[in-house]
A and B are shown apart, each in its own frame.
Chain A
Amino acid sequence: MTKISMTIDGVRYEDEVEPRMLLVHYLREVAGRTGTPIGCDTTNCGACTVLLGSSDGANPNGDKLSVKSCSMLAVQADGADITTIQGLTNGEGAGEAGARLHPLQRAFHEEHALQCGYCTPGMIMAAADLLRDNPNPTEEQVREGLEGNLCRCTGYQNIVRAVLRAASEGASS
């Protein structure tokens, strides 16, 4: 067993884990952050995408990159600062209607960019990273940028629309 510590959605966790434990299993089963689902075991679908950065505090939000948490070991994330879909609406009032939605979450709702919703957490986190990298993407850049995330319900049309809408509303800032 290996001792690790990390910050997940603003809360610090310390646990002993098997070195082989996947980060996504740590998030879901040890930390209880079940908002991040698992869609495949081969890094193809992106449902488990989260944002991961160093936790030295220098730049707590700006340097977080999207990673597929099924293809990373929990021990590799030792010391990391992680944001999951549940962290986008963190804080008091998160349970109230209309409370504190991230512009991407709002846009996904308004544009009907989800049906079953299983890919949605990963799709939103990947889109957040895409907009951090390119705050004003074209439609084609959005499609290319989300290539690593699969959706079986929407045909992507409304996902693309939602990301463009969130960009126009300044989601990256």
Chain B
Amino acid sequence: MTSQSDTAANEIGKRRTRKEDARLITGQTNWTDNIQLPGLLHVAFLRSPQAHAKILSVDTSAARQMPGVIAAYSGADFAAEQGSLPCAWPVTPDIVIPNHPPMATEEVRYGGEIVACVVARDRYAAADALEQIDVDYESLPPVLDMEAALADGSPKVHEAGNKSFEWVFANGDMEAAFRDAPVVLERTYRQQRLIPCAMEPRAVVCAPVADEYTLWSATQIPHVLRVMLALVTGIPEHKLRVIAPDVGGGFGSKLQVTAEEVLAVLLARKLGRPVKWTESRSEGNLAVHHGRDQLQRIRIAADADGRLRGLSVDLLADMGAYLMLVTPGVPLLGAFMFNAIYKMDAYSFKCTGVFTTKTPTDAYRGAGRPEATFGIEHAMDDLAAELGMDPLALRRRNWIAHSEFPYTTISGLTYDSGNYEAATARAVELFGYDDLRKEQEARRASGDPVQLGIGVSTYTEMCGLAPSRVLGQLAYGAGGWEHASIRMLPTGKVEVVTGSSAHGQGHETAWSQIVADRLGVPFEDVRVLHGDTQVSPKGMDTYGSRSLAVGGVALYGACEKVITKAKVIAAGMLEVSPEDLEWTPGRWSVRGDPDQGKTIAEIALATFAAHNLPDGVEPSLDSDATYDPESFSFPHGTHLCATEVDTETGRVRIRSYVAVDDVGTVVNPLIVDGQVHGGLAQGIAQALYEEAAYDADGNLLTTTLADYLVPSAPDLPTFVTDRTETPATTNPMGVKGVGEAGTIASTPAVVNAVVDALRPFGVRDVEMPCTPQRVWRAINEARGAAR
């Protein structure tokens, strides 16, 4: 590895290459599927081939006779002990949370639901035996369309009906806002269903020793998982250890308590032997929770000059067949984001959670905020077109001015900081906005078959999930704090324990930079430990762009505690009063006599020896800190996309993409750029390529990566990225979070660009993903309508 050791302080903002790369680029990784244990057995699951059916019988007897098979079970065999998979976010008092057994017992409600399992000596034997299980189904009608599901007489997914909840929010006088409004825009947008597709398929290993269990899982949430497994299985929490080893991406899909994890524990308990399950990609596409899937009805009232008066949002959100860990909460994270960066007089939001016979939905990169941002940013471009205004001018007319921060929005959140003017000015400059508009005009005038479109997205998001008090008000089942601890080793090296659980984000590097910066120790001297409840007993894990904005700030607090402890011990060593000392990173020295001082390493060694500590001082520099954010953080930015749309074939090509983001203080620009790139790719993928498609019987059609079009390198452009830096004022580091920004911003930028190219044809929307076929149809339908 390249060493960049120089001065230890001023680490914040340095382009450090990553520590975690050393094992990842050499194949020395520890993915869950790599784990081998003596006597390890392999589990395979039989999944429902039907979207909706009664289970009449399950016969596992033939499977049990197969060579190498240890056991085979149906849901009935576990009925007494398997409990129900947890939903931690009952968003309303009258929400319907259906029973959700890990292995179905009476009815299956989506294709891919587990009905039986085999435990065998190897994975091939387990797969063979699955074919010997005989299941008798009685087909029931599938429920696939949300509007139809809510209509009277629809077949029911659950006995209680197809509506899970209705959640409303309103502020301001909507009636006044819409009364006599010069312009009222009404649109319905569809957020298609997506499959997260982390590159590492899920895997789980559970090893029992007496009445204690160790579970390895490809999870984002080892700490939450441990608590939930204890509650579901009844195994006492202190006898469960959960380890997230190297985890190959998550994007929300591994923010879950899964049937497979629960069943791995139950099987290990029943058999007293270690078990392992690794999913295939096609199994994953069926059974890993999906994302998005909303129908958004949006109404905007505006003045003739573009000033926003009111915004009304009516959402249908597809829950799929069951409520998973945070399924109902996902669309509500968008409730506070539809108003985005704009001022308005009134806002109302309604979300109806709907059950269908599809794979359950849950968090996927951005979770509720990409959906909301798409809705408002698409509507703003549409409103600009309606008014004959430049879309950037419409935004300037309505956004919160830099001078107005802190600003409490119509949805009740207080944005601490932001500078939409600066980010937009920089994006416009990098993009060459005016020149591209001129080229667009020329192409329109000449009737060029390849039209140019320009899409705007001036997004913000809320991250740093989350103030525990706010989560309580929203009926979420846990807090939003994060924990960190520091162990000062005798030789001056530092071990950091974090409750964040990285799976690609680069915590080992960024956290080392924070400690090096605060304590003044070399970057190389810090080691970061995470992802094992025995090593890191406290944590709320990694999701929602929270790691730095919550976990990083917790670590900052832990550093401050070390410095404070070191001060007293240094004073004893120097035989001066603590009040006479001053701190420069890495060293306490006597004020006015800087040669008299002790480095943190010297203090650590003296603390370890403990021969001559001041009276009453404990021989430890170690510290713990738990940080509960006082507010969300609000990254923002301006993204501009130019697309070339071939009006004869419908093909869309991204000509240029500029992203200027403001994520507050940057710890490592290399990592931040990488997060933005990857986020953009996922947002663009939603705009142009990806969709979880079902047939009329409710069969998922996109079960492989040949059908579900995760973009590859030639499908994406080279991005132009830059930043403005407006530090958050609600935490001492000024950080905001960056994990989801690119995904949130880019989908509307791309779709707006596609629609912008086609507005002269009368096209007002192209449903996502904007495939050549959809684009071509939109053009020809608009042409037909015009005739």
Q: A-side interface residues toward B, CB under 8 Å?
A: 18, 20-21, 25, 28-29, 33-42, 44-45, 47, 84-86, 88-89, 94, 97-98, 101, 105, 108-110, 112, 114-121, 124, 139-140, 142-144, 146-160
Interface of B is mostly: loop
Interface of A is mostly: loop
| Contacting residues, chain A, for B25 (C-beta < 8 A) | 85, 101, 105, 108-109, 114, 117, 120, 124
Cβ contact within 8 Å between B17 and A112: yes
Cβ contact within 8 Å between A41 and B282: yes
A108 to B710, CA, bound (A): 22
Cβ contact within 8 Å between A148 and B712: yes
Partner of A118 from the list B199, B677, B682 (CB cut-off 8 Å) is: B199
Residues of B23-41 at the interface with A, using a CB-CB cut-off of 8 Å, are 23-29, 31, 33-34, 36
Q: A116-B504, A147-B712 given as contacts; is B677 within 8 A of A154 (CB)?
A: yes
Cβ contact within 8 Å between B713 and A116: no
A148 to B247, CA, bound (A): 22
Cβ contact within 8 Å between B281 and A39: yes
Cβ contact within 8 Å between A154 and B674: yes
Cβ contact within 8 Å between A150 and B710: yes
Of all chain A residues, the one with the shortest Cβ separation from B504 is A116
Shortest distance between the CB of B507 and any CB in chain A (Å): 11
Give 17 pairs: A residue, B residue, CB < 8 Å, sorted on A: A25-B123, A38-B33, A38-B278, A42-B704, A44-B705, A45-B199, A105-B25, A105-B26, A108-B21, A115-B506, A116-B248, A117-B21, A149-B713, A156-B712, A157-B718, A160-B713, A160-B718
Cβ contact within 8 Å between A143 and B199: no
Of all chain B residues, the one with the shortest Cβ separation from A32 is B36
Q: A39-B201, A116-B249, A150-B199 given as contacts; is B677 within 8 A of A157 (CB)?
A: yes
Of all chain A residues, the one with the shortest Cβ separation from B246 is A117
A116 to B175, CA, bound (A): 50
Shortest distance between the CB of B101 and any CB in chain A (Å): 27
CB within 8 Å: A-B pair count? 188
- 14 new A-B contacts, CB < 8 A, other than A117-B248, A146-B713, are A20-B124, A33-B27, A34-B34, A37-B29, A37-B33, A94-B26, A105-B25, A109-B2, A114-B25, A116-B503, A117-B20, A140-B714, A143-B714, A152-B199
A45 to B198, CA, bound (A): 11
| Contacting residues, chain B, for A156 (C-beta < 8 A) | 677, 681, 712-713, 716
Partner of B27 from the list A86, A112, A150, A153 (CB cut-off 8 Å) is: A86
| Contacting residues, chain B, for A45 (C-beta < 8 A) | 199, 281, 705
Of all chain A residues, the one with the shortest Cβ separation from B199 is A118
| Contacting residues, chain A, for B701 (C-beta < 8 A) | none
| Contacting residues, chain B, for A158 (C-beta < 8 A) | 673-674, 677
Cβ contact within 8 Å between A150 and B1: no
Shortest distance between the CB of A21 and any CB in chain B (Å): 7
| Contacting residues, chain B, for A120 (C-beta < 8 A) | 24-25
Cβ contact within 8 Å between B674 and A40: no
User: Does chain A have a CB within 8 A of B18?
Assistant: yes
Q: A21-B124, A39-B281, A151-B199 given as contacts; is B26 within 8 A of A112 (CB)?
A: no
| Proximity bits, B247-271, A CB within 8 Å = 1, else 0 | 1110100000000000000000000
Cβ contact within 8 Å between A38 and B26: no
Residues of B684-735 at the interface with A, using a CB-CB cut-off of 8 Å, are 704-706, 710, 712-714, 716, 718-719
User: Does chain A have a CB within 8 A of B114?
Assistant: no
| Proximity bits, B296-332, A CB within 8 Å = 1, else 0 | 0000000000000000000000000000000000000
Partner of B704 from the list A44, A105, A110, A146 (CB cut-off 8 Å) is: A44
A97 to B3, CA, bound (A): 9
Partner of A155 from the list B27, B278, B678, B714 (CB cut-off 8 Å) is: B678
Cβ contact within 8 Å between B719 and A155: yes
User: Does chain A have a CB within 8 A of B92?
Assistant: no
| Contacting residues, chain B, for A157 (C-beta < 8 A) | 677, 716, 718-719
A88 to B716, CA, bound (A): 29
Cβ contact within 8 Å between B31 and A34: yes
| Contacting residues, chain A, for B34 (C-beta < 8 A) | 28, 34
User: Does chain A have a CB within 8 A of B280?
Assistant: yes
Partner of B248 from the list A37, A86, A98, A105 (CB cut-off 8 Å) is: A37
A133 to B251, CA, bound (A): 35
| Contacting residues, chain B, for A124 (C-beta < 8 A) | 25
| Contacting residues, chain B, for A25 (C-beta < 8 A) | 123
Cβ contact within 8 Å between B31 and A40: no
Cβ contact within 8 Å between B201 and A152: no
A38 to B33, CA, bound (A): 9
Cβ contact within 8 Å between B249 and A40: no
Cβ contact within 8 Å between B21 and A118: no
| Contacting residues, chain B, for A159 (C-beta < 8 A) | 713
Cβ contact within 8 Å between A119 and B199: yes
Cβ contact within 8 Å between B712 and A149: yes
A25 to B199, CA, bound (A): 18
A77 to B345, CA, bound (A): 69
Residues of B270-292 at the interface with A, using a CB-CB cut-off of 8 Å, are 278, 280-282
User: Does chain A have a CB within 8 A of B670?
Assistant: yes
Of all chain A residues, the one with the shortest Cβ separation from B675 is A115
Cβ contact within 8 Å between B704 and A40: yes
Cβ contact within 8 Å between A112 and B716: no
Residues of B208-257 at the interface with A, using a CB-CB cut-off of 8 Å, are 246-249, 251
Question: What are the 8 tightest A-B residue pairs by CB atom distance, in nearest-first order?
Answer: A35-B27, A117-B24, A118-B248, A116-B504, A155-B681, A155-B677, A44-B705, A40-B281
| Contacting residues, chain A, for B3 (C-beta < 8 A) | 97-98
